[in-house]
Structure 1
Amino acid sequence: MIHALYRALSIAGGPLIDVFLKRRMLKGKEDPARAGERRGLASLARPDGPLVWLHAASVGESLSLLPLIERLLDGGRLRVLVTTGTVTSARLMAERLPAGAVHQFVPVDRPAWVRRFLDHWRPGLVLWAESDFWPNLLAEIGKRHVPLILVQGRMSARSFAGWSRAPGFIARVLADFTLCLGQTPADVERLVQLGAQDARCLGNLKLAVPPLPCEPAELAALKEQIGDRPVWLASSTHPGEEAVAARVHRTLAERLPGLLTIIVPRHPERGPEVLGEVKALGLQVSLRSAGEAPDRAILVADTMGELGLFYRLAPVVFMGKSLTVEGGQNPFEPARLGAAVLFGPRMSNFPDMAPAMLAADAACQVADQDQLAEAVGRLLADPAVARAMGARALAWAEAEAGALDQVMGALAPFIAAVEGSDARP
C-alpha cells in the first residue's frame, strides 16, 4: 500500500520535483552542466560490452567502492558505471575512478526517469552500497531481472527503528535484492528482521581501501614549511569541534612551543566560518583554500581530497563528528597511515570498528575537551609513544583489510554470468 502510494506521488509530483532540483542548483548542490542526468538523460554513451553498475550515495560510500571497482576492471572485459547523488562525490570520482569506469548522477526516483536511465545503460549486474534505498529504482531493476546485490549494507539501530514502523514497505524494497552483504553481524541481523532473504556478513569494504593518496611534491613542500614544529590534526570536524580544537591549541601552546594545529572541516565550504571562529578566540590562523602557508598557530584546511596529505603530516589525529555531533567519522583512514588516532564518545556510525580499535590499543577515546588536550599533549610531548600507538593502529588496519577477497568470492558467480553475456538490446 505505502509502496504504491509512494510510486503514485513520485509520478504526480513532477512539477514539485523540478522546483526542488532548481533550488538545489541555486544552492550549489546540483551541477547545472549535468542537470539532465538527474532526469535519466545520459551525458555519456554507453560503453560496449557487459556493464556493472555501482551506486553510492555520497563521498564516503563511493570511496569504499574504489577497491571493488578496480577488481571488477582487472580482467579487462567488464565496464563499470558509478552513480552518486552529490556534487562533491562527482568531483571526487572524476579524480579517482580508474580507466574503464565512468560516473553519472543517479536519476531522481521518478519511474519515467528511472526507465530512461536503465534503457540507456542496460547493466548486467547492479551493486548497491549501504542503505540509499530508492523504491522505484530498485523495483525497476527487479522487473528487468537484473541481479541486484547490496554491498556494504548498513542498518543502524536508529534506521532500523524507523523502518520497523513501515514493515511492509521496507520488506518490499529489500525483496528486490538478490543478496545482501552487511558490514557487520548487527547490520545483517537487522536486514533479515526487515525482510532481506539472503543476508551475510563478509566484512567491511571500508577496511579494504588503500591508504588515501597525496601528492608527494606537495607533502615535501609542506614538511619543509612546517619544519620541526609539533603538529596534530582535527579531521572531518563538525560545528563546535573547530572551537574545541582551537581551545586545545591554546591550552597546549605554552608547553609545546611552535605547536601547529591543522583543522579540516568535514564540509570545506565552512572554511571562512571556521576561520572567523578561530580568530574570535584570539589565535593566528591560515586558510588553505586561500593559498596561505601553514606559518601561524592554526591552519584551516578547507580543501577537497587532501586528507591523505594531512594524515601523513600529523602523527596525532582526532576524528571529528564524535564530540559535539553524533556519529563519528572513519577512524580507519588515519590508522591505515600509522597515525595515533583519537576520537570522542559519539561513534555510533562505527559500532564495531571503534570498540575493536580500542580493544587493540589502536586508538584512544576522549570524553571532552579537557581529555582531548591531555591526550594530544601527552602524545606530542613523547613522540616515541605516539609512534608506538600509530604502529598499533597500522597493524590493526592491515589485519582487517581482507574483506575485499571475501566479497569478490560472493560476487564471483554473478560476475561470471555478466561476463558471459553482453548488453541486452
Structure 2
Amino acid sequence: MTDVNMTLGLYTFILRLLLPVALLRLIWRSLKSPDYRQRIGERLAWGRPAPSADLWIHAVSVGEVQAAELLIRQLLAREPSRRILVTTTTPTGAARLRELCGESVAHRYTPYDLPGILHRFLDQVRPALVIVMETEIWPNTLAACERRGMPVILANARLSARSARGYARLTSLTRTTLARFACIAAQSEADARRFIALGADPERVRVTGSIKFDLRQPASLLDQAESMRRAWGVGRPVWIAASTHEGEDGPLLMAHRQVRVRIPNALLVLVPRHPERFERVAALVMRQGLTLVRRSRQDVCRDDTAVLLGDTMGDLPVFLAAGDAAFIGGSLVPTGGHNLLEAAAAGVPVAIGPHTFNFATITELMVEEGAAVRVVDADELAALMTDWLGNTPLRARIGEQGRGVVERNRGALERLIALIDECRSV
C-alpha cells in the first residue's frame, strides 16, 4: 500500500471514530440553535434522498452562499432548465440560500467525508459537475468524484499562509487530493502560488480573481436603508459592528463607550455572526449598562438608545448601507475576518482588526487603496470611529474609494463561467 493510501486510510479511520462526536456536537449546538438537529439524516445520506442534479455546488455557510448566489443566478440565466443542488454545512447558510435563491435550487446538508456516505449521496445526485466554493478540500469526496468521472472545480479559491502550513504537514495526501481537482480558480496570485507549492498541477491553477467583487446591490437596498435610517433617528451618527465573534463584543462595547464620550448620541448596531450568540450578546450589553433595543422585536430606537442588536438574518446588507461607518468582525480575535466588500460597495468606510487572513488579498487591497483602515485594539477603533463619525467629508472620500476598488476589480465571475464551460466541454 502506498503512503498516500495509508494516510487516506488513517484519515478515514479517524473520521469514522469521530462521527459519533460530530453527531453529538450537532445535538449540543441544537440546544442553542434548534435548526442544528433538523435533517441530520442528510449529513449521512439517509432518509429523504437528495434530488438528482446537473450541478452540485458546495458552500459552507453564509459567506460562501452569498458568493455562490452570484454564480447560480448567472448559470440559471444562461440555462434555466439546469438542475442545481447546493449543500451547506450550517443552518444559517441554508437559511441564507433560501432567502437569496428561493426554490430555484435544491438544498441539502453536506454529507460527511466518509466513503459509504458519499457513495449513497452520489448515487442519489449523479452530478455532471461539482463546484466547491473557496477552501473546502475533502479527500474522500474528491476521490469518490474522480472514480465516477465527475470533474470538480475549486471556485473562488483562497488559501491563507496559515492554512497552507497545515496542509503541508500531510504532503503526499495533500498533493494527491489537489491533483483531483479539474481546475482551481484562485482569487489571487498568492493563493495560486500556495496551491502550486502544495502540489497542485500548475496547468490546472488559474487566477480568476474574487467573484465577491461582482456583487450587485438590489435596487431596493437604498430605499430600505433610508427607511431604516429614519427609524434610528435622522442625523444621528451610527456605526455598524458586522459579523462579530465570541471575544469581540466586549471590546467593541468598550470602544462604543469611548465614542459616546465625544459623541453622546452615537448608536452602535451590533450584529453577531452566529444566531446562537444573540441572547448572550444581549445579556452582555445589559451588563455593561448600555441601553439596548433588538431588531427581532421591532423595538423603537429612542434618542438615548446606545446599542441596537441586529439579531435577525439577512438584514446585514441593509444595516451596512444605512450606517455611517463599519467594523468587520472576526478580525479583533484570530478568526480571520470576513468580507469587506458589501460595506465598500455601499460606500461605507471600513475598519478591520489585525486578524484578516481569511480575506488577506481583499483586505490588503482595500487598505492600500485607502478604502479601509486597520486597527490593533478597541482603543484605536474608538479613536477611528470618533474621527469618522464627526467628519462627513472624510467618510464620503473613503467610502468612494471603496466603491472604486469594487468597480475596478469586477469580472471574476465571467472568467469563472468560462472555466466551467471549459470543464463541461472536456
TM-score by length of 1: 0.90
Q: Secondary structure at the match of 2:51?
A: coil
Partner residue in 2 for 1:55? 58
* Contact preservation (8 Å) 1:128, 1:151: yes
Task: Return closer, same or farther for 1:368/1:261 CA change in 2, 3 Å cut-off.
Answer: same
Task: Return closer, same or farther for 1:32/1:326 CA change in 2, 3 Å cut-off.
Answer: closer
Partner residue in 2 for 1:227? 233
CA distance in 1, matches of 2:185, 2:372: 27
Q: Secondary structure at the match of 2:98?
A: helix
* Contact preservation (8 Å) 1:57, 1:85: yes
Task: Return closer, same or farther for 1:120/1:200 CA change in 2, 3 Å cut-off.
Answer: same
Q: Secondary structure at the match of 1:349?
A: helix
CA distance in 2, matches of 1:44, 1:179: 29
Partner residue in 2 for 1:208? 214
CA distance in 2, matches of 1:185, 1:13: 33
CA distance in 2, matches of 1:378, 1:307: 23
Task: Return closer, same or farther for 1:55/1:290 CA change in 2, 3 Å cut-off.
Answer: same
CA distance in 2, matches of 1:4, 1:59: 35
Partner residue in 1 for 2:332? 323
Moved more, 168-177 or 367-376: 367-376
Q: 2:290 aligns with which of 283, 287, 305?
A: 283
Partner residue in 2 for 1:421? none
**Deviation of 1:247 (Å):** 2.0
1:393 aligns with 2:399: no
Q: Secondary structure at the match of 2:184?
A: strand
Partner residue in 1 for 2:116? 112
Task: Return closer, same or farther for 1:16/1:324 CA change in 2, 3 Å cut-off.
Answer: closer
Q: 1:312 aligns with which of 321, 329, 335?
A: 321
CA distance in 1, matches of 2:14, 2:397: 60
* Contact preservation (8 Å) 2:152, 2:182: yes
* Contact preservation (8 Å) 1:345, 1:367: yes
**Deviation of 1:367 (Å):** 2.6
* Contact preservation (8 Å) 2:321, 2:346: yes
Q: 1:70 aligns with which of 66, 70, 73?
A: 73
**Deviation of 1:16 (Å):** 5.5
CA distance in 1, matches of 2:88, 2:22: 18
Partner residue in 1 for 2:205? 199
Moved more, 323-332 or 172-181: 323-332
Task: Return closer, same or farther for 1:320/1:214 CA change in 2, 3 Å cut-off.
Answer: farther
1:136 aligns with 2:140: yes
TM-score by length of 2: 0.90
Partner residue in 1 for 2:277? 270
**Deviation of 1:188 (Å):** 0.9
Deviations along 1:40-86, one digit per CA (max 9) or x if unpaired, are 23736635xx7011112222122211111111112224221111111
Partner residue in 2 for 1:167? 171
CA distance in 1, matches of 2:115, 2:259: 57
1:35 aligns with 2:36: no
Partner residue in 1 for 2:306? 297
Deviations along 1:149-203, one digit per CA (max 9) or x if unpaired, are 1112222111211211211111121121111111111111111121211111110
Moved more, 66-75 or 10-19: 10-19
**Deviation of 1:220 (Å):** 5.1
**Deviation of 1:12 (Å):** 8.9
Moved more, 15-24 or 246-255: 15-24
1:146 aligns with 2:153: no
* Contact preservation (8 Å) 2:158, 2:191: yes
Task: Return closer, same or farther for 1:8/1:166 CA change in 2, 3 Å cut-off.
Answer: closer
Unaligned runs of 5+ in 2: none
* Contact preservation (8 Å) 2:83, 2:105: yes
* Contact preservation (8 Å) 1:269, 1:302: no
* Contact preservation (8 Å) 1:234, 1:320: yes
| Paired residues, number | 415
Task: Return closer, same or farther for 1:403/1:206 CA change in 2, 3 Å cut-off.
Answer: same
- Name the Cα RMSD after superposition: 2.5
Moved more, 5-14 or 335-344: 5-14
Moved more, 197-206 or 358-367: 358-367
Unaligned runs of 5+ in 1: 418-425
